Structure 1
Amino acid sequence: MDGSGKGNLDQVKHVLLVLSGKGGVGKSTITTELALAFRHAGKKVGILDVDLCGPSIPRMLSVGKPEVHQCDSGWVPVYADPQQQQLALMSIAFLLEDSDEAVIWRGPKKTALIGQFVSDVAWGELDILLVDTPPGTSDEHLAVLENLRKHRVDGAVLVTTPQAVSTGDVRREITFCKKTNLKILGIVENMSGFVCPHCSECSNIFSKGGGEELAKLTGSAFLGSVPLDPLLTESLEEGRDFLQAFPESSTFTAISHIANTLLDSLNA
């Protein structure tokens, strides 16, 4: 494998990191839905899942346990849509013998694998590569940034929920971005209200507006709010394309708006 980190990213036009200072805010959900929205917009998309201890994206995209092959330039990514090959994915979940196996690794081993993921996946031509990161501001995040420095990173999308306990953690993530010179493309407020499956009315069960307020306080762009939607949850559990199945839903509108705003900011 070439291992230089540059060759396999040469044909990747844009790289976006999806970050949050807190677990449980739906970061992988937002990553998955953005990838699907970009694909529906005609873009060729990749997802690099570096949440080593909780790799959930393969299940959300209904990708089982495929055998990962190698070519001359490295690992061949797995396609969520093998016929069209518009959505590529690489995750540690593909490398574990047992899906229930816990990844109990010290920092250096995690850092080494992330270095391999960044340099040794043969993505080919991609319009956008989304990097789904674990919660926090730790070894994994620094390893991703250090390895991606060889390639231009467009910036980060930060995900929060409305409550102050979440926005407080994401505020620390904003500090991390500023200290590492990582551009903040905007903030997404996830789980912003609950969409009733019967009448489609949205109720603010967690409070509302924390993400937008955080964006104002920190001078960041507010990309939009995504409500809790049972149809979205069900789609993720079953590995179905929510955006294709429920184009009339308010959640579809919210996700599409966020995706289009990002595409505009990238001129993609």
Structure 2
Amino acid sequence: MVDRAEVEAAVAAVAGRRASVRIEGSRVGVVIDATGLSAPERDALEANARAAASVRGAEVRVVVTAERLDRRLIAVASGKGGVGKSTVAANLAIALARAGRRVGLVDADIYGPSQPRLMMAEGERPTARDQRLDPVPTPYGVPMLSMGQLVEPGRAIAWRGPMTAGALGQLVDADWGATDTLVVDLPPGTGDVQLTMIQKHRPAGAVIVSTPQDLALIDATRAIDLFAKAGVPIIGVIENMAGYACPHCGEISDPFGRGGAEAEAARLGVPFLGRVPLSIDIRTASDAGKPPAADPDDRVFAPIAERVAEWLAAS
């Protein structure tokens, strides 16, 4: 005869998580909560629970369940390429993680993935379990997935719309474990990936990246319009490449102008999140896979992430 109290105590000792035990003769059924655990952690939990419940030759069945987490998606978008959107997305993800959120990063720029280099994850290949991808860890505490990790380096991805939509689904619907926030680096423009993201994965809000120049602002306005028409809130606008400090004399110049994104945000009635300077240090650090937001002394991305975190807490 299997003693229920003995089994429950044994399972609780090794699992430390919610579990229920059902005993019918020599059969023991254990249902245990694995919310927030990664796939390897769930496997270990199941094995430990099975070993703990296997008393007196009982036949044991362990079922591991998980509640759906309230995971929020933040879409980082731009109306055109070349405005530093991916650099901003990587640093925003790291800065949010440093602020205490459990953050994952999705590189949804299917045709031009750059996050593996930015996050020092080049050459890392994700594994899969039960037809779901396991995100790749990074040195910055932000797991990530990118098409750049699924294809050979330098290989062109020449896909039509339905294939990009399927790829996006694999990245977003991966096993993100305890992650509560997904930063999604979208491709430039307002095409198939953006529409699929809005229709199937529904971001909590969108962050728009633009340079101060008029041409970039025209396209950024289109990106804002796309999300606004779809009912996706605009978290705010970030002005990138805003001001250049000469490393020799310290004089500030504005090759792309200054204040244009802030003025456009005010005109459209959306928040302005802050400026990122045009800096050789940011460029070289990013190329080396060392995002500036990982530096404890970061004063550029941390305030922007704080405003995004405040928006998430209030929405």
* TM-based fold match above 0.5: yes
Q: Deviations over 1:41-61 (max 9, x none)?
A: 232210111101110011011
Q: CA deviation at 1:12?
A: 4.9
Ranges in structure 2 where 5+ consecutive residues have no aligned partner: 1-64
Q: Root-mean-square deviation (CA), in Å?
A: 2.0
Partner of 1:139: 192
Q: Is 2:168–2:193's contact at 8 Å kept on the other side of the alignment? A: yes
| CA distance in structure 1 between the aligned counterparts of 2:128 and 2:69, rounded to whole angstroms | 18
Q: Is 1:93–1:99's contact at 8 Å kept on the other side of the alignment? A: yes
Partner of 1:4: none
| CA distance in structure 2 between the aligned counterparts of 1:79 and 1:36, rounded to whole angstroms | 13
Q: Does 1:255 find its partner at 2:308?
A: no
One-letter identity of the residue aligned with 1:208: R
User: Residues 55-204 of structure 1: matches in 2 within 5 Å?
Assistant: 55-72=113-130, 74-81=132-139, 86-96=141-151, 98-119=152-173, 121-149=174-202, 153-198=203-248, 200-204=250-254
Number of residue equivalences: 250
Q: Residue 15 and residue 23 in structure 1: after superposition, are their counterparts in 2 closer, same or farther (change >3 A)?
A: same
Q: Residue 201 and residue 42 in structure 1: after superposition, are their counterparts in 2 closer, same or farther (change >3 A)?
A: farther
| CA distance in structure 1 between the aligned counterparts of 2:164 and 2:131, rounded to whole angstroms | 22
| CA distance in structure 1 between the aligned counterparts of 2:181 and 2:311, rounded to whole angstroms | 13
Q: CA deviation at 1:246?
A: 7.4
| CA distance in structure 2 between the aligned counterparts of 1:18 and 1:267, rounded to whole angstroms | 18
One-letter identity of the residue aligned with 1:134: P
| CA distance in structure 2 between the aligned counterparts of 1:8 and 1:207, rounded to whole angstroms | 50
**Structure 1 length as normaliser, TM-score?**
0.87
Q: Does 1:47 find its partner at 2:102?
A: no
Partner of 2:68: 10
Q: Is 2:132–2:170's contact at 8 Å kept on the other side of the alignment? A: no
Q: Is 1:61–1:240's contact at 8 Å kept on the other side of the alignment? A: yes
Q: Is 1:22–1:166's contact at 8 Å kept on the other side of the alignment? A: yes
One-letter identity of the residue aligned with 2:160: R
Q: Residue 9 and residue 234 in structure 1: after superposition, are their counterparts in 2 closer, same or farther (change >3 A)?
A: farther
Q: Is 1:51–1:134's contact at 8 Å kept on the other side of the alignment? A: yes
| CA distance in structure 2 between the aligned counterparts of 1:109 and 1:74, rounded to whole angstroms | 17
Ranges in structure 1 where 5+ consecutive residues have no aligned partner: 1-6
Q: Is 1:16–1:129's contact at 8 Å kept on the other side of the alignment? A: yes
Structure 2 residue matching 1:189: 3-state secondary structure: strand
| CA distance in structure 2 between the aligned counterparts of 1:115 and 1:13, rounded to whole angstroms | 15
| CA distance in structure 1 between the aligned counterparts of 2:176 and 2:167, rounded to whole angstroms | 17
Structure 1 residue matching 2:299: 3-state secondary structure: helix
Q: Residue 26 and residue 230 in structure 1: after superposition, are their counterparts in 2 closer, same or farther (change >3 A)?
A: same
Greater Rg over alpha carbons, structure: 2
One-letter identity of the residue aligned with 2:73: V
Q: CA deviation at 1:188?
A: 0.4
Q: CA deviation at 1:178?
A: 1.6
User: Residues 207-246 of structure 1: matches in 2 within 5 Å?
Assistant: 207-245=257-295
| CA distance in structure 1 between the aligned counterparts of 2:181 and 2:249, rounded to whole angstroms | 36
Partner of 1:3: none
Q: Determine what percentage of the aligned residue pairs are the same residue.
A: 36
Structure 1 residue matching 2:219: 3-state secondary structure: helix
Q: Is 1:79–1:89's contact at 8 Å kept on the other side of the alignment? A: yes
| CA distance in structure 2 between the aligned counterparts of 1:257 and 1:113, rounded to whole angstroms | 33
**Structure 2 length as normaliser, TM-score?**
0.75
Alignment partner of 2:77 out of 3, 19, 44: 19
| CA distance in structure 1 between the aligned counterparts of 2:289 and 2:89, rounded to whole angstroms | 14
